[in-house]
Structures are given as C-alpha cells and as structure tokens.
Amino acid sequence: MYSEYGWVRVAVAVPEVTVAQPLANAEFMLACLEDLAPAEPDLVVFPELCLTGYTCGDLFHQNTLRRSTLSALEHLLAATADCQAVLAVGLPLTAGGQLFNCAMAVQAGRVLGVVPKSVIPNYREFYEGRWFAAAAKVREDTVQVGDRQVPFGTDLVFAADSDPRFSFGLEICEDLWAPIPPSTRLALGGAAILLNLSASHELVGKSAYREELVRQQSARCLAAYAYCSAGPLESTTDLVFGGHGMIAENGTILQQSPRFRRGRHTLIADVDLEFLQHERMQNHAFNSQVGEPDLMIRRLPFKPGRQPAPPEKLYRSVPALPFVPSNPSRRRQRSQEIIAIQSHGLATRLHRAGVEKAVLGLSGGLDSTLALLVAREAFAHLRRPPTNIRCFTMPGFGTSQRTLEQVRRLTRETGVELAEIDIRSACEQHFRDLGHDGTTGDTTFENAQARERMQILMDKANMLGALVIGTGDLSELALGWTTYNGDHMSMYNVNAGVPKTLVSWLIRDFADTLDPDNAGLRKVLMDILDTPISPELLPPDQDGNVGQQTEALIGPYQLHDFFLYHMVRCGFTPQKVLFMAAIAFADQYKRSEIKQWLEVFATRFFAHQFKRSCLPDGPKVGTIALSPRGDWRMPSDVRADTWLAELAEAES
C-alpha cells in the first residue's frame, strides 16, 4: 500500500514458534503473511531469531540446527518469491568463523542485506555472549547466504529506488536499550522507518518501560519505529515471553498489540513518511548531526512492491479534533497545563510591567470567557484580588439579551468588576462623520463597532494604569476573522496559541472540575458553551435571534482547526488534507462540503497574513503558533493560487 500521499504500510507479525524446529517456524511465518496479504503491507517485521526460536540455548552451537535453519530460509525465500513486501527475518548466521544473531531483509525471494546484533546482553537472566559475537567483531562487509554474497553490517539503510523517503533500517532487541542505539545512526543516515526484531521477555512493569523506549526512540529519530517481540510459545524454562508488538511514529504509538496471545497475531499501521520528512527538514537539532564524518552508511536500493496510489483503506486513526486529546484524563491534564501556561505568561507580563490591574472586554462568547478564567488564575498567582480585573461589556447593534445576561452572571460568579458601556450612540456619531447611512450591514458597519470597543478598552487601560488582555484565538488568527486594529489588537493576548475547538474544551474541563460551591459558575459556563458562536455585529432578526452565526459564514471551526493542524503543523498538501478530512468527518460532512470549506481556509489563511504580521505578544501553548516573531513567517502579499489550483484538481 505504498501511497502517493507518503504512507507506507508496516506490519508486525508474531508467529507461533516451535523451539529448534526451523522448517515448522518458516511455515508459521508464512501463515502470518497469508493473514496479512489482503492488507498488502510494504514492510513486515518478525521477532528476533524467529526461524529457530530465541530460547535454543546451547543448541545454537549445533551444526544440525544451523543447517536446518539455512534450509528453512531457502524454503521461506522460495515460498515468498512473489511477495513484494520486504520481510525482516531473525536467524543465527555464521560469518568468519563466528556466530551472529542477525536480522535479514528479504524481498521477492531475495536477500537484500543482513544486520548483526550490536549489543549482546550477558547479565542476570541473559546469556547471549555464550553463543553470539557482537557486531563489533564483524570482519567483512558481506556474508555468504546460500550461494550468494550479500551486504553485511550495521551500516545498512535500505532505500526505495523510486522514492528516497521510503527507507528503513534494522536493529535487534537489546540494541534499543543501549545509550546510543544503532537506530539513531541509521536515522541520521536517512532511515525513516526503524524495525526492531526482539525477544524481550515479560517482567512486572517492563512492558511500560519498553513502550516508552519505543515511543522516545521514534521521537528522537523523527522516525517510525516498528517493534516485534517473541511470543508466549517460546520455552518457559526460566522466562515468559508476551509477543509485544508496537508501531510508533514520531513519539506517538499508532498501534499496539495485547500481550500473551497464544496463537499467531499481526499488527498493521500506515506510517506517514511525508510528515516525517517535514519534521526532519525543519528540525535543526536532528540536521546538525546529519553528515558527520563518522556517519558512514551504505544505502541499498530496493523496488517498492507497488506503484504509489491512493489508499482504499487507512490503517491509522485520523482524529477529527487533532488539538483535543480523546482520552479524558489526558485531556484534563492538557487543559490544566494550557491554562497554567497562559496564566503564568500573563502574570509575568503584569509583574515585569509593574502593572497592578488588567482590562478585559467581555462579550459572553467563548474566547473572552476563557480569557477571564485565565486572568483570574494569573491574579491568583500574583496574590492580587480578582477585583483588580476590570471587565467591560459594550453592547452594540447585534448584542443579544442572552449574551449580555451571560456576561453579568459570569462576572458576579467570578468576583470581578463589570461596567456596561453602550457603544451604539458613539458608532452612530462615527457613521455620520463618515457619511455612512448607519443601517447598511457592511464591513464598515461591523468593524466600526469592533474598533470602538478596542478604543474604549485602550483608553480605560490608560486611565486605570492597566494592561489590556486580548481574547482572539488561534483559529481566528489563521482565518483572519478579526477586525484589524480592533479585536485584533491588545497589550497581551492570552488566547493567541489556543484554537477554537480547544477553547471549548478548556472551558468545559474547567467547569467540570469546579466544586459544588461553584454551581452557579458552572451553570453559566455551560450556558456559554451552548451559545452559537457569533461576533454579534449585525442586528438580530425580527424574532430577536442572533443575526450572525460565524460558522455559517466561514465554515465549521472543527474543520478549520483540522485544516490548520495538517497544513501548518504537518505541511500536507491540500489534496492530502482533503483525503484525511473525508475520513475523519465521514459521518458529518460530504466530501464536497469539506472541499468547499478547505478552499475558504486556504484563501483566508493567505489573504490575512498582514494581520498576523503585527500581532501583539501572547504565549505559545502547543505545537502551532502564528506569531511573526516565532513560528510562522510568511509574506503579507503572498497568494494562495498554487494551493487552490491543486485543490481544484481533487474530485469532490
């Protein structure tokens, strides 16, 4: 399933095993491949010493076992002559009069290369040094396998001849436990996928440590990491094996198998080489060590089994809300951490500026509500009373009674001061000065209200010796859904790094953690969460309903946050983003709708860079920020034509 979008399908296969019966084990491995055939994997990794079994002990020194292993290998090669997947097979192999614990890369009945194990454990329950030599003892760069000489060594990176992104390297079990695993060197040498053939037995707590090793190595190497351990049918004389399988990508476990499954089992995941390439290109810590003099790597070409094509099924989850963890406990932890970053950022800014008070405009919407909650936390850090937060609500032509009442209730429950300043008469005077009729709901009509509000906030801050807290979120900055020099401006914007979908969850989690004494605050927060998102700049309809709903005008925020994450964070093309969004939102939106709003996102993202080029300060809280001083630098006059042209080619 080698994909045009950069996905490669990786499989972990834990076969049944009969210790010291190589031919039977080869058949067990073929059974795994038969199970995997419908998924058409590109890479399949088997456990360490899977042709013999890991627990053969002194039988490894028996010529009979070694000869039968080579016979079983020839049987495996013949049986997989038509198999286009690359297989990583574990077996003992002699070279230069020494015995090595090896990982062999095999494709279409041909051996591509052999990698010996670097770290031979010989402590406590491990006794591999009795049978195997370490890779450092290798004397030649080739090894005899049957009637052919094949590349041999720990310096091998296997790379697809048609796509340099599709490359992999091999290491074996204990190699991963080393201070500098061989896979680190292989990743710096270009391997995007790291395969580990393992026979890691089970001990209390070991599986969690093993998982963390895999996760961290994939993160440090900016790589995919597939780990396959021997199953429970290995000898249990002293140890028990669990058949632990994992596939990770850049610090995230994509798939993981349950342990102690007695029959054969497989695990499949599509790893994203395009994403990994994007990460490596912009990571200077990684690139600073690429090309060092002692980093000698042999690149061995192979032909991918299939030509790139769009996948019919994707073996990985595509979360609809990439900014919001799906696990409730992790989401709660994330929420607390984000509010801590926001509030301490604001507290430090107030402290360094020598400012005792803050000014905040409240609308009854999500963003200003979160800003108020953050401000209360910041003032608590500084041991200042919440009454030092001066809130202003400024009803205009579109303000609804519902949101106005929400502001009143919110400030009562949080103990901050509130002043109401009706801006309609000031705006009407402004319209007369401009020669505007004051009734046409155009951009001037809307923006005049936003700028009047910001003028009041700035002037009130001057009067009070206070700092104006900004409320605009990351999604609004991406879309340019903010009035230039209106709500676009502030003295410190606490929400600048928080996308809209996460704003909602931060408020919800905050409400859910309130104690029973704060039932009133929880009730108003839940009411705000249930209110349609609106700038409330146009008059309500004849029934008194809100005249504007933001998502009806510019599209659903959950879609835009999805686009933002995958285009900016991952660097994906519009066609790939569309493909992934169609999977993530299959039950909510038609593909044609997604494409329509993706066009809106791309158009607005490029057109409104000029607003982001002069953003006020604000804390970065996640992996995406649009500050021109930090994460995102783009010309203000660039156009989206190239991106839109590619999107136009995609089928609706």
- Specify the pLDDT at position 292: 67
pLDDT tops 70 at residue 556? yes
Choice among 50, 56, 102, 173 that is catalytic: 173
Do the Cβ atoms of 311 and 345 come closer than 8 Å? no
Q: Which of 37-41, 534-538, 602-606 has the lowest mean pLDDT?
A: 534-538
pLDDT tops 60 at residue 1? no
pLDDT tops 70 at residue 560? yes
Enumerate the β-bridge partners of residue 622.
Answer: none
- Rounded to 5°, the CA angle 230-233-238 comes to 85
Choice among 102, 117, 202, 357 that is catalytic: 117
Tell me what the mean pLDDT of segment 382-400 comes to.
Answer: 95
* Known catalytic residue at 40: no
CA 261, CA 458: separation in Å to the nearest integer? 65
Other Cβ atoms less than 10 A from the Cβ of 208: the count is 9
* Known catalytic residue at 500: no
Task: Give the number of C-alpha atoms closer than 13 A to the C-alpha of residue 437, restricted to the C-beta side.
Answer: 4
pLDDT band at 207 (very low <50, low <70, confident <90, very high): very high
pLDDT band at 289 (very low <50, low <70, confident <90, very high): confident
Do the Cβ atoms of 535 and 548 come closer than 8 Å? yes
Do the Cβ atoms of 645 and 606 come closer than 8 Å? no
Question: What confidence tens digit (pLDDT) does each residue in 414-455 have?
Answer: 999 999 999 999 999 999 999 999 988 899 999 999 999 999
Choice among 16, 48, 234, 452 that is catalytic: 48
CA 110, CA 363: separation in Å to the nearest integer? 68
Q: Which of 55-69, 190-204, 301-315 has the lowest mean pLDDT?
A: 301-315
Tell me the domains of the chain and their CATH numbers.
7-302 (3.60.110.10), 328-648 (3.40.50.620)
E-only strand ranges, 96-141: 98-107, 110-116
pLDDT band at 543 (very low <50, low <70, confident <90, very high): low
* Known catalytic residue at 117: yes
pLDDT tops 90 at residue 227? yes
CA 507, CA 331: separation in Å to the nearest integer? 12
Question: What confidence tens digit (pLDDT) does each residue in 565-604 have?
Answer: 999 999 999 999 999 999 999 999 999 999 999 999 999 9
- Return the percentage of the chain with pLDDT > 70, whole number: 97
- Specify the pLDDT at position 547: 64
pLDDT tops 90 at residue 313? no
Tell me what the mean pLDDT of segment 46-68 comes to.
Answer: 96
The helix/strand/coil state of 487 is coil
- Of residues 405 and 284, more confidently modeled: 405
* DSSP state letter for 87: E
Residue linked to tokens 């028996």: 62
Tell me what the mean pLDDT of segment 516-541 comes to.
Answer: 88
Tell me what the mean pLDDT of segment 332-339 comes to.
Answer: 94
- Specify the pLDDT at position 308: 66
Tell me what the mean pLDDT of segment 611-637 comes to.
Answer: 94
- Specify the pLDDT at position 307: 66
- Specify the pLDDT at position 583: 95
- Specify the pLDDT at position 309: 67
- Specify the pLDDT at position 624: 93
Please name which of 582, 607, 577, 605 lies closest in space to residue 593, comparing C-alpha atoms.
Answer: 582
- Specify the pLDDT at position 294: 63
Task: Give the number of C-alpha atoms closer than 13 A to the C-alpha of residue 297, restricted to the C-beta side.
Answer: 25
- Specify the pLDDT at position 550: 85
Contacts of 531 (CB under 8 A, 6+ apart): 364, 365, 402, 403, 406
Q: To which H or E segment does residue 253 belong?
A: strand 252-256
- Specify the pLDDT at position 37: 94
- Of residues 310 and 21, more confidently modeled: 21
Q: What average pLDDT does the structure give for the chain?
A: 94
Do the Cβ atoms of 339 and 374 come closer than 8 Å? yes
